[in-house]
Amino acid sequence: MAGKIFDKQSLQAWSVGLNFVLSTFVGLGIGYWLDGLFKTSPWLTIIFLILGIVAGFKELFSLAKKQGNGTDKEG
């Protein structure tokens, strides 16, 4: 089934990339909003941006570990 445009592996790769970007922007948005609320600019933005990036990497490593163990194979 190599000819399929949207096979399971490509959809997982898209979801990891999308999750990484979204978690980064959500962290950035929350930090920016909290900085405006508490007048602590730029500290909460930086902290929540880093937390969003860490969450994205956590998801990336989770999927890599899952595929490395072979638990994602169809069978």
- Could you write out the DSSP letters of every residue in 33-72? HHHHHHT-TTHHHHHHHHHHHHHHHHHHHHHHHHHHTTTT
Evaluate if residue 70 carries a pLDDT over 90: no
Q: How far is CA 33 from the centre of its chain?
A: 20
pLDDT digits (tens, 9 = 90+) for 10-57: 888 888 889 999 999 999 999 999 999 999 999 999 999 999 999 999
> Pick from 52, 24, 48: which is nearest to 37 by CA?
48
pLDDT greater than 60 at residue 2: no
Report the predicted TM-score, pTM, of the whole model to 2 decimal places.
Answer: 0.78
Give the pLDDT score at 75: 45
